[in-house]
Amino acid sequence: MRTRAILPAWNRILHGYPPFLSIEITRECPLRCPGCYAYEPNHLGEGKGIRALADRVGEELIAEVLRLVRRLRPLHVSFVGGEPLLRHRELTVLIRELDRMDIEVQVVTSAVLPIPREWREFPNLHLSVSIDGL
């Protein structure tokens, strides 16, 4: 989070809005890392694992994410998975829209897939490489 966002974040928290939103954008991943938390049986709580989710793709995924963001109004959105880069086309659209809304975006990836070059144009994008397992 950037320094300029600290006071707005506190304002939003005090008004009941969560400043951060993490979205599991896909349950798919080309890797099977031992110890990956995403595939643990209770990852989602209530005995549910990520494989119990139904993936959305394309326009439906974009529309649902934007609907959720407009309702919750976070300052920061993290996209996780599975492997978020499997949805790079949808993410490109989402990152562009969230950038227009002045929302910070983080994509947490295993970095086994190429990161789109066009993402360089997004000043509010932060990439994180997650290394799960042993």
Compute the distance between CA of residue 132 and CA of residue 115 in angstroms, rounded to an integer.
19
23 has which bridge partners?
79
Compute the distance between CA of residue 104 and CA of residue 2 in angstroms, rounded to an integer.
9
Q: 28 pLDDT band (50/70/90 cuts)?
A: confident
Q: Give the contacts of 133 (CB within 8 A, at least 6 positions apart).
A: 33, 34, 35, 36
Specify the pTM: 0.84
Query: pLDDT (tens digit, 9 = 90+) per residue, 63-109?
Result: 999 999 999 989 899 999 789 999 999 999 999 999 999 999 999 99
Residue 54 vs residue 110, higher pLDDT: 110
